[in-house]
Amino acid sequence: MILIKFVLLGLIVITCSLIGNIKAKTFEKRYLELKKFKNGLEIFKSKLEFTYEPVNEIFGDVSKLIYEDNDNIFKRFTQSGNWDIAVDNQKNFENDDKEVAKGLGKMLGKLDKSGQLNEINLVDGFIDKQLEKAFEVKEKNEKLYKVLGKSVGIAIAIVFI
């Protein structure tokens, strides 16, 4: 009976630790997703500047290069043709990130090449700021949630003892 009790208490500690780790991962996922988006913008900018491919084809290439053609913002745009829908379905972006990304969609395909390049540069600058914020939040909260998960698990186990 005592063995079962300690096994259950151990499971509580492990479960709480896992919950803390899962929550901590969300901050890393956001940061990594913003980095991929920034890399995608750089590829988009280069291809737009030096080739005459249409936006859909460029985004398809970006999707394959950066995301290995998994579900991503560029692939969703090529499928739906609507940038705002593609951005809204980006699960690892926060609202601020989505607003910055939507700024690109307002001018996408409506300006000449130099205008689009300027728009990409502008959005790229905003993404840099979002990356800085995401990194700071990640560094601060990742450790916090990991320690908090373990602490809550241990505290619950102590209460049940």
pLDDT value of residue 31: 94
Task: Tell me which DSSP letter residue 93 carries.
Answer: -
Query: Which tokens belong to 42?
Result: 């750089």
pLDDT given for residue 33 in this prediction: 92
Asked, for residue 1, whether it belongs to a domain, the answer is no
Number of domains making up the chain: 1
Do the domain assignments include residue 45? yes
Q: What stretches in the chain show pLDDT beneath 70?
A: 69, 109-111
Can you give the pTM of this predicted structure? 0.83
Do residues 131 and 35 touch, judged by C-beta distance below 8 A? yes
CB 20, CB 147: distance < 8 Å: yes
pLDDT digits (tens, 9 = 90+) for 9-23: 899 999 999 999 999
The domain of 128 spans: 29-142
- Supply 21's token pair: 């780790």
- Given the structure tokens 């905003």, which residue do they identify? 126
Q: How far apart are CA 78 and CA 59, in angstroms?
A: 7
Q: So what's the pLDDT on residue 24?
A: 92
Residues 139 and 108: their CA atoms lie apart, in Å, by 34
Nearest 5°: phi and psi at 94?
A: -90, 175
Residue 12 located in a structural domain:
no
Query: Under 8 Å CB-to-CB from 144, ≥6 apart: which residues?
Result: 24
Is 23 a domain residue? no
**Is residue 20 a part of any domain in this protein?**
no
Rounded to whole angstroms, how far apart are CA atoms 30 and 10?
A: 31
